[in-house]
């Protein structure tokens, strides 16, 4: 079964540079053009994919999950 496209427009290509394993969830650091994107996913998923440092990945997140913070003039 091959995925042709995902609806979410926010997709950042990058490489896994760190996997911080926990018993239930793990933090994955993905190096992208805009810097590190951090993802928390289940450790069972890390083992199932599997995900390892060096893998080419997409960091994907929905627009409804994004907050917008306005910066003050002195930004």
Number of residues that bind a copy of itself (CB under 8 A): 61
C-alpha distances in Å from residue 46, one per residue of 25, 30, 74: 9, 14, 42
| Rounded Cα distance, 65 and 14, in Å | 20
Residues 46-65 touching a copy of itself, rule: CB under 8 A, are 46, 48-49, 51, 55-65
Is position 74 an interface residue for a copy of itself (rule: CB under 8 A)?
A: yes
> Which residues lie near a copy of itself (CB under 8 A)?
1-13, 16, 20-28, 30, 32-42, 44-46, 48-49, 51, 55-72, 74-75
């Amino acid at each position: 079964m091959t995925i042709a496209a995902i609806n979410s427009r926010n997709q950042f290509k990058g490489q896994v540079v760190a996997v911080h394993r926990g018993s239930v969830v793990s933090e994955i650091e993905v190096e992208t053009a805009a810097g590190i994107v951090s993802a928390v996913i289940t450790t069972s998923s890390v083992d199932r994919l599997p995900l390892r440092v060096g893998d080419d990945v997409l960091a994907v997140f929905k627009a409804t999950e994004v907050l917008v913070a306005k910066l003050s003039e002195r930004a």
